[in-house]
Structure 1
Amino acid sequence: MTEEQAKELLQKYLDEQASPQEQKKVEEWYATLQVKDVVVPADRKAAIGAQMFAQLQVAMRRKLTIGSVFKLGSFIRVAAAVLLMVTVGVVIWKLNSEIPSENQITVINSATQQKRIILPDGSVVLLGPSAKLCYPKIFASNSRQIELEEGEAFFNITHQEKRPFTVHTSAGVNISVLGTSFKIKSYQASKQLEVAVVTGKVAVSNPKGELGTLVKDESLTYDKNNGRTAIRKSKTSAVIKFAFDGATLDQVVTKLQYVYSIKILLSDSALSKLKTTASFSSTQSPEEILDILCSLHHLRFNASKNHKSFKIYR
């Protein structure tokens, strides 16, 4: 049964036109509202209350028909109960999957500044003002999925090759990564959604298929009305720092490959075990970082013509 059908049934109940079976159904719905485990999120209470009050006023002003089996007090009581179900019960019924369960956390940033959130895997989200984010307390073993329901957020995702990270949006657009940093603007009132990549690579898609793949300093704009996308160069002001404290050269290379969407080959497997302690940032080019790494270990490197592939050797 759809929300519209449910509202029609509740209205029939209020108008004394519901069959015995329909009356029983409404009473069962009302009974479910008494379950203590049902919780309406705080951000919805004001809107629900205002809607219920307005609808109740309309119902109370309705003219009672002559010969009605209801007295005024009974009518108001029933109207209040039924309208409560329309504004609260149906909302809960429709949005049940959106109400945070024991394993879900919903954050709404009511401040005027960004709010820093650390996800269960160590990934960091900078949530913009008025933005809303939902994520599980514990990620699944084979995936990491969260939802940006409203607003703007910057994501710095911890690299986990066996657990892809996906951000779902209210526009039906999904952003999938393994380990990278990017920004999403997804306002329900805006006709456009925007994704901008600071480091790494992301795949943007919707139910119809892939919309585009973005790498460092690229952004994608998606028009919700016509489904059109546009990809352009768009360097962001965000700076990502990444530090290594005794990491192996193999670990450093893996990180750099995802940050810059490049390929780095070690000519000798023995090189992979070399320990590295250093700090870098996304403002540095791959060549600059590789030059420092090679200097630390007395190595050399060369680059392909397109500067997308590198080889480190003795």
Structure 2
Amino acid sequence: MTEEQAKELLQKYLNKQASPQEQKKVEEWYATLHQENIELAADRKAAIGAQMLAHLQVVMCQKPKYVKVFKLQSFIRIAATVLIIITLGISIWKLITPVKLENQVTVVTGSTERKHITLSDGSVVSLGPSAKLCYPKAFASNNRQIALKEGEAFFDIAHQEKRPFTVHTASGVDIRVLGTSFKVKSYQASKHIEVAVITGKVAVSNKKVNLGTLIKDEFLIYDKTAGRAAIGKSKAVAYIELAFDGASLEQVINKLQYVYSIKISMSDSALSKLKSTAVFSSRQSPEEILDIICSLHHLKFNGSKNHKTFIIYR
């Protein structure tokens, strides 16, 4: 075998292109390199050395690239996994962490203490003993939400049709209103939640269904254990003050509609701008209040037989 043939065979072996017989010949030759006193011509040694050095240089150049690529790919995979875990963790944290209202105020009453709180929209909350209420210093532009964490409270809510008012309880029962007055009794130690409407209308619900819509003098008792609600008529009658200080006739009508759950219309839209200053009580009938208001402006009114619909005219 000539030197050129030996080089070609060694190259085929290194490129894994040699036949089984050729592989055996190279391996037998390699084994003889470890024998002692082997004599090789100087030019043969130089050729073999140069060939093996070239192969070694190729391997040395390729290996770092392979390791570098492997490490980079591994790093990318690990970084992607960590990023996914962090993203999922943040998403889960946002889902299980309740949204906190900015500038939230918490009011707690003692065992014999009562407090009256005026909210930013003009609504008034009267807290009974051992109660806890959380509310924001300023309500959002599209809704009003507070939380009765514990105890009993009476709510006199300012009417704002475009900003519904919602009271959340610790048991997951929510009371939603537009403008009315009602009482909520929600103690964590009790198996029941009570909602009683004094004036207007409220909707009571939990996370699953609407439990009922209450009007004036109706109450709802919700069994937290059974998840059921019962509605009845209030025996004890409570009254609130209806005060108007320079209010337009439209504002007066809106208040009366929610307090008494009635419908009042005007024959002429120009009447809506008439101003009224007076103080009434929900003890009075809507007919009595309308009679006084109309007398102030030299107006008249008619009511339906069921006392639920009225019209004001000149």
TM class, shorter-length: 0.5 to 0.7
Unpaired segments ≥5 residues, structure 1: 1-92
2:190 maps to amino acid: S
Which residue of 2 is the match for residue 257 of structure 1?
A: 257
Contact in 1 for aligned 2:197/2:217 (Cα 8 Å): yes
Give runs of ≥4 in structure 1 deviating > 4 Å.
96-102
Which residue of 2 is the match for residue 268 of structure 1?
A: 268
Change (3 A) 1:97 1:239: farther
Contact in 2 for aligned 1:198/1:236 (Cα 8 Å): no
Which residue of 2 is the match for residue 189 of structure 1?
A: 189
Which residue of 1 is the match for residue 293 of structure 2?
A: 293
Matches within 5 A, 1:111-260: 111-260=111-260
What SS class does the counterpart of residue 293 from structure 1 fall into?
helix
Contact in 2 for aligned 1:248/1:272 (Cα 8 Å): yes
Instruction: Give per-residue Cα distances to partners, 1:74-133, cap 9 Å, x unaligned.
Output: xxxxxxxxxxxxxxxxxxx9xx96798752111111150311111122211111111111
1:290 maps to amino acid: L
Contact in 1 for aligned 2:185/2:193 (Cα 8 Å): yes
Matches within 5 A, 1:7-26: none
Instruction: Give per-residue Cα distances to partners, 1:232-261, cap 9 Å, x unaligned.
Output: 110544321121122221111111111111
- Structure 2 CA distance, aligned partners of 1:277 and 1:242? 11
- Structure 2 CA distance, aligned partners of 1:138 and 1:289? 33
Instruction: Give per-residue Cα distances to partners, 1:253-294, cap 9 Å, x unaligned.
Output: 111111111110101112112221211111111111111112
What SS class does the counterpart of residue 105 from structure 1 fall into?
strand
- Structure 1 CA distance, aligned partners of 2:99 and 2:233? 38
Greater Cα shift, 304-313 or 147-156: 304-313
Change (3 A) 1:311 1:238: same
TM-score normalised according to structure 1 size: 0.66
Which residue of 2 is the match for residue 89 of structure 1?
A: none
Change (3 A) 1:254 1:109: same
Instruction: Give per-residue Cα distances to partners, 1:174-205, cap 9 Å, x unaligned.
Output: 00011111000011111111000111110001
What SS class does the counterpart of residue 243 from structure 1 fall into?
strand
Change (3 A) 1:101 1:272: closer
Contact in 1 for aligned 2:113/2:130 (Cα 8 Å): no
2:272 maps to amino acid: S
2:178 maps to amino acid: L
2:200 maps to amino acid: G
- Structure 2 CA distance, aligned partners of 1:277 and 1:101? 36
- Structure 1 CA distance, aligned partners of 2:211 and 2:134? 23
Contact in 2 for aligned 1:246/1:276 (Cα 8 Å): yes
Change (3 A) 1:141 1:229: same
- Structure 2 CA distance, aligned partners of 1:174 and 1:243? 28
2:218 maps to amino acid: E
- Structure 1 CA distance, aligned partners of 2:238 and 2:121? 22
Q: In percent, how many aligned pairs have the same letter?
A: 73
Residue 104 (structure 2) pairs with residue 104 (structure 1): yes
Instruction: Give per-residue Cα distances to partners, 1:144-193, cap 9 Å, x unaligned.
Output: 11111111111111111111100000111100011111000011111111
Greater Cα shift, 113-122 or 159-168: 113-122
- Structure 2 CA distance, aligned partners of 1:101 and 1:270? 41
Which residue of 2 is the match for residue 302 of structure 1?
A: 302
Length, aligned pairs only:
220
- Structure 1 CA distance, aligned partners of 2:235 and 2:138? 33
Residue 312 (structure 2) pairs with residue 312 (structure 1): yes
Change (3 A) 1:270 1:99: closer
1:260 maps to amino acid: Y
Higher Cα radius of gyration: 2
- Structure 2 CA distance, aligned partners of 1:305 and 1:129? 43
Which residue of 2 is the match for residue 40 of structure 1?
A: none
Contact in 2 for aligned 1:100/1:106 (Cα 8 Å): no
1:267 maps to amino acid: S
Contact in 1 for aligned 2:194/2:221 (Cα 8 Å): yes
2:140 maps to amino acid: A
2:195 maps to amino acid: V
- Structure 2 CA distance, aligned partners of 1:101 and 1:269? 40
